[in-house]
Amino acid sequence: MAGSLKEKQLVRHVYAALQAASCPLVEGLYLQEADSMLQLLCAPSQHRTDILAWICSSINPNFANSKTIVVRSSGPDVLTKEMAVLGQELMLCKADDLDLIRGEASPHRQLRFLEQLLTLVPGCRKAAGHRLDQEMLLNELYAADNLPHFTQMLKPTLDPWPADIKALRNSTKSAPKPSREEAADVATLLQLTQSTLEQLQSQCEFLSSEAQSPGVFSPSSLRVAACDLQLLMATFSHVFDTDLRAFCSRDPPSFSAEADVFQRTHQLLLAFIMELEMLTEVSEGSVSMTEEVKQLQTQPCYRSRGEKRKLPDQLEELSRRIQDFFPLLPS
């Protein structure tokens, strides 16, 4: 059965859709020629009828129940009429288009009918289209007209680099190396920059990392802080009584109007400071006494006229006595 180019493309599409839908009636056929596909799908045969019945069963599962199979076995025209009725329900043909069901209509009409039926099979249209696109792409790539292009891609006769890239590569290769004078100029510039930065850093005091000396505690600052706290508490009491009492269900805080608490706190802190100063003086006295004891232990002492005196002191006293005794000697 010879067909036109359009019919051959259509029959390949329908056959690929049947394979994509996993139709068991086309498995193992491995048809490659379009004429063989037309003979299978457009010529009246029992195989074609079974393929059409499988498509109808895939669309409507009730089409393949046991009662229908029993009715179909009574005569071949019953199955043909049922498939025609299903086509009418799907609005693809009329109930009296029995020639279309038997395979006696034109090949183009039969292929269009099969194509429309296969679009209703779940998952058939997308898979068939994807497979057909892959086959068409491979056929187009490996066509005889495209073989010279593959050969040129494997063995190009021209340099693949563009003209601007080649010029850049050539200029990079031929670029002269920096001379010693340029290196010396760069080193001088770096030294000048470093000296300028050091000068700026010395002028900016906030950049120095020296730790600031801690503040000295004074009793007057404590007195001022206590007075400020008392004023803040009194102000809060006034604001609470005038503005915040309506929004708070709790009892207002009670603050003493007298400054006895702050005075006692101030006196205790002053006494604490005095004790700290006394402890500091005691520590200093202990250190000086320890040094004195060390000197007494390290320097030898001698008794003179019942007193314990050091050797340098005794030598000094002896020298003074000799000087006093010299004037008494007769000349």
pLDDT at residue number 245:
74
The alpha-carbon radius of gyration of the chain (Å, integer) is: 59
Q: Residue 81 pLDDT more than 80?
A: yes
What phi, psi does 207 have (nearest 5°)? -85, -15
Question: Residue 122 corresponds to which tokens in the numbers above?
Answer: 């779940």
* Residue of higher predicted confidence among 235 and 215: 235
pLDDT at residue number 211:
43
pLDDT at residue number 67:
43
Provide the strand spans (E) within 18-64: none
Q: Residue 187 pLDDT more than 80?
A: yes
Averaged pLDDT score across all residues of the chain: 75
pLDDT at residue number 264:
78
Q: How confident is the model at residue 170 (pLDDT cuts 50, 70, 90)?
A: low
pLDDT at residue number 283:
87
d(CA 293, CA 15): 119
Q: Residue 176 pLDDT more than 80?
A: no
pLDDT at residue number 210:
47
Give pLDDT tens digits for 23-80.
Answer: 888 888 888 888 888 888 888 888 888 888 888 888 887 876 644 554 555 566 788 8
pLDDT at residue number 66:
42
Q: What is the DSSP letter of 159?
A: -
Q: Residue 315 pLDDT more than 80?
A: no
Burial of 48 (0-12, 13-18, 19+ CB in 10 A): buried
Helix axes 34-42, 107-118, angle to 10 degrees: 80
Provide the strand spans (E) within the chain: 301-304, 307-310
Q: What is the mean pLDDT of residues 227-254?
A: 76
Displacement of CA 174 from its chain's centroid (Å): 44
Proportion of the chain above pLDDT 70, given as a percent? 66
Give pLDDT tens digits for 203-223.
Answer: 766 555 544 444 555 667 777
pLDDT at residue number 30:
81
pLDDT at residue number 303:
59
pLDDT at residue number 297:
58
Residue 223 near residue 266 (C-beta atoms within 8 A): yes
pLDDT at residue number 212:
47
Give pLDDT tens digits for 244-290.
Answer: 777 776 666 665 656 566 777 778 888 888 888 888 888 888 888 88
Question: Residue 295 corresponds to which tokens in the numbers above?
Answer: 């000197």
Counts of helices then strands in the chain (DSSP H, E):
14, 2
Question: Residue 264 corresponds to which tokens in the numbers above?
Answer: 């006692």
Q: What is the mean pLDDT of residues 137-147?
A: 71
